[in-house]
Structure 1
């Protein structure tokens, strides 16, 4: 009887072990899966490249496509016209509303404009009035186009001061303004402070108090109901995401 009891106990133990051991094929996968396409304002490039890499590292099962950057209004036109994206991050709320209508988006950062000049500030620009004077004397000053958030902010600031500034060109995104100053094709322009920081020692930024009258709020929204899209939005809004944004010069909403 003792021998039969031992055999029975061994059989029960073997059965329990078998039940608790699943084959690799039956185990639930770890992390999220799917594909992620993000459209974002050009000024977000440094921060969002870092955030996209962070999401991919945390979730190897997600295929994170290279983020598409451009002026917010350009991206909005593409999305309204049928372009496919999982997440949209705009440099202002008005442009976001063109894409999602009354759908709720979340503001995750703010930004202001600065004067951008060549390293060393060779023309001695120290104020918005100096920038306007440079423009009126034949200097090459450029802005973002009025329909682009950085252009809208620039015009708001100028209108509030009563200063007249006639740019030699108006660009479709803030990176184009920055590039023309970097290459010497322009003497100065108005860009976001985050772009000045991202450019390092290739340019110099000049702050001016009037910029406080036009603070751009950056909203984000998941355009598709996928886990990958929500995971990216959650990362942007998280403490880690806010830390990365702050490192790139953005301020909290």
Structure 2
């Protein structure tokens, strides 16, 4: 091989090596480059689709929902750190009056469609109420049922002190339906403003019996006994829930309602004795 030919061969080999080096660098650069704009956009879309919840959710709820909703409130706070669920439990009619008079709240869960309508008829909700559970009455008696109460008629026996919910609240209206169905005329020793108030009278032994929801009898444990009666089937209450108009924290409030209506929510509520719609 001549000197000129040798030099030419070396130049060709060097050029080939340089090209290979450039190809290697290009491949490495491509593999370590940041995600494409479309990939980043997908991530951003997923983030925006599930915004982080925060702040306080204020729930006005029928007294009979107390134990179940407090449990669901704790679960909601666990799932969404930075949130707090506060409750105002009471008679549905009183809660409705507070809402229509401007009490700040995010969610209303009533013990009857009638009391919910006190709010919705004044354009008080941003969403249509949805029935999420039902409830049925029982007779709550002193532990051991010392008076031997087995029916609504037994509540009229001399010396038996009976407490009812006020007729304006759902448990009182349901009790009156059941009494009418049984043909029983009952004079209670007192009317209470909500179902917990009626039950407490028996727990404190200030009354011998009360017509309350079976969920409340179950929640009371061994403080009372429960007696079923057939006329309770004529007085089953539907419980609607709704997002309130101008809710201060509507995003988190919607998420709380979703939890209540979820499979886990139903499990908590049916476990407390509520019926599915």
Q: Verify same fold: TM over 0.5.
A: yes
Match of 1:121 in 2: 145
Q: Give 1:21-100 correspondences, 5 Å limit.
A: 28=47, 32-34=52-54, 35-61=56-82, 63-100=83-120
Q: CA deviation at 1:227?
A: 2.3
Higher radius of gyration, 1 or 2? 2
Q: 1:237 aligns with which of 261, 273, 276?
A: 261
Match of 2:7 in 1: none
Query: Retained in 2: the 8 A contact 1:32–1:228?
Result: no
Match of 2:196 in 1: 175
Match of 1:203 in 2: 224
Indicate whether 1:132 and 2:156 are aligned.
yes
Indicate whether 1:165 and 2:219 are aligned.
no
Query: What runs of 5+ residues in structure 2 fail to find an aligned partner?
Result: 1-18
Query: Retained in 2: the 8 A contact 1:31–1:59?
Result: no
Query: Retained in 2: the 8 A contact 1:40–1:70?
Result: yes
Aligned residues: 246
How far, CA to CA, are the matches of 2:85 and 2:241 in structure 1? Answer: 18
Match of 1:212 in 2: 233
Q: 2:177 aligns with which of 156, 162, 185?
A: 156
- What's the CA shift string for 1:7-65, capped at 9, x where partnerless? 3333333333697799xxxx94866413311111000111111111222222224x122
SS of the equivalent of 1:73 reads helix
Once superposed, what is the RMSD of the aligned Cα atoms? 2.4
Match of 2:272 in 1: 248
SS of the equivalent of 2:78 reads helix
Query: Retained in 1: the 8 A contact 2:77–2:85?
Result: no
Query: Retained in 2: the 8 A contact 1:55–1:235?
Result: yes
How far, CA to CA, are the matches of 1:208 and 1:132 in structure 2? Answer: 15
Query: Retained in 2: the 8 A contact 1:181–1:187?
Result: yes
Please give the TM-score of this superposition, normalised by the length of structure 1. 0.89
- What's the CA shift string for 1:219-241, capped at 9, x where partnerless? 01111382211112122222221
Please give the TM-score of this superposition, normalised by the length of structure 2. 0.82
Q: CA deviation at 1:127?
A: 0.8
Higher deviation after alignment, 201-210 or 65-74: 65-74
Query: Retained in 1: the 8 A contact 2:167–2:176?
Result: yes
SS of the equivalent of 2:210 reads strand
Query: Retained in 2: the 8 A contact 1:32–1:227?
Result: no
- What's the CA shift string for 1:138-172, capped at 9, x where partnerless? 43211100101001111111123332211111110
How far, CA to CA, are the matches of 2:254 and 2:40 in structure 1? Answer: 33
